[in-house]
Amino acid sequence: MPGITELTFCIVNTNGRELLLRGLDAVARERAALPFETEVLVLDNASEDGSAEAARAHPAVDEVVALDRRTGKAANDSTLLQRARGRFALLLNEDSELRPGATAALHRALTEHPEAAAAGAQLLRPDGTPQPCAWRFPTVGTALRAALLLHRRNVQSGGAGTRPVDWVQSAAMLVRRTAAEEVGWLDERFFVYSDEVDFARRLHDAGWSVLYVPEAVAVHHEQLATGAGAERRIVEFARNRDLYMRKHHGPAAALAVRWLTAIPYALRTVAALVLPGHDPRRYARHVTATLWPSRGEGIREAAEAFNARRDAAGA
C-alpha cells in the first residue's frame, strides 16, 4: 500500500501548454529522486490550447482540475492547497521549471525550521541570470527608498544560505498546509499580483516565518506580454499593490505609496524619451495606473470578458 503523501506539487496553468509540459518533465525528475510519497495536481484555468488534455496524458500527473471559467491566481492556489493531501504543497506556475534538487532543498528547509510556514526558491531568468524573488514588505519606507532610487535595498534574495525574509515569489514556493489553513488560505480579492505578499504578511502576523532558500533553484520562463496584455498587467499590478496597502496600512499610507511609487516611473518615462530600446508610453502608463489604480481594465476584466463569451456561446 502507498504511504502517506508528504508533498503535493500544485501547478496552475492558463494557456501555457508547452511550458506546462516542460515543467511537468522537471517535476517527474524531482519525484523520482525524492525518498517520500508525492502527488501532482494541475489546475487548468479554462485553457483553449489543449493544456488540460496534455496534462492528463502526462505520466507525472495524478489529477487535473479543469475549470470551465477563468478565476484568479489566489483562488486557484487556494483550491489546490485545499485539495492537496500532502503535508507540504509546492506552488508552481506553469512557466516554472525546477532545477534538480530544488524540491528536496525546500522540503529540508521547512522540516529543519518548524517555525517557518513557507519557503521560496531562487528564480532564474531563462538566460540563467538570477531574478529578484524575495523582498521586504511594501510600506511607505520601501516606497521612499524606491523613489530615491535605492530600490535594491528592498530586495532580500541573493547570496548564500537559507534565511528568513519578508515574502517570496509564489512561482516556486513550498507551503506548510497547516499554516495556510490557519490563516485562511490566500485572499481571493487579489486576482493576481500581491496575493503572495498578503499571504506572507498574514503568516507573519500569525507568528510564522518565511524562508528564502537559494540552494533551491527554478527557472522562471516569465513571458512578458506586449500590447493590450502589457496594459492589463500594469493595471492589475497597480490595483493589487494599492489593495495590499489599504488592507494592511490604511488609506493614508496607500495614498503616500501611490505618489512615492509614481516618482521613479516618471523618471523612467523621461529617460526613455532619449534612451534607445525603451518605451516611454509603458512607463507613463505605470505612472497613471499607480496614481489612479481604480481606473482601467486589468487581467480580472479580461477573465470576466472571457467567461462572458463562454457563457454566451453555451447559452
Q: Return contacts of 125-131, CB within 8 angstroms, 24+ apart.
A: 125/219, 125/220, 125/222, 126/219, 126/221, 130/157, 130/158, 131/220, 131/222
Confidence of residue 158 (pLDDT cuts 50, 70, 90): confident
pLDDT at 90 > cutoff 90: yes
CA atoms within 13 A on the CB side of 206: 20
Q: Taking residues 84-93, what's their average pLDDT?
A: 98
pLDDT at 267 > cutoff 80: yes
Confidence of residue 173 (pLDDT cuts 50, 70, 90): very high
pLDDT given for residue 228 in this prediction? 56
pLDDT at 284 > cutoff 90: yes
pLDDT given for residue 223 in this prediction? 57
Q: Taking residues 150-162, what's their average pLDDT?
A: 94
pLDDT at 256 > cutoff 50: yes
Whole-model pTM: value is: 0.95
* Cβ–Cβ under 8 Å, residues 95 and 221: yes
pLDDT tens for each residue of 176-216: 999 999 999 999 999 999 999 999 999 999 999 999 999 99
Dihedral (C-alpha) 280, 286, 292, 295: value to the nearest 10 degrees? 90
Q: Taking residues 109-132, what's their average pLDDT?
A: 97
pLDDT tens for each residue of 1-57: 367 999 999 999 999 999 999 999 999 999 999 999 999 999 999 999 999 999 999
Closest by CA position to 17, among listed 94, 106, 111: 94
* Cβ–Cβ under 8 Å, residues 120 and 173: yes
pLDDT given for residue 136 in this prediction? 98
Q: Which domains does the chain have, with CATH numbers?
A: 5-220 (3.90.550.10), 228-314 (no CATH)
pLDDT tens for each residue of 68-82: 999 999 999 999 999
Helix (H, G, I), strand (E, B) or coil at 17: helix
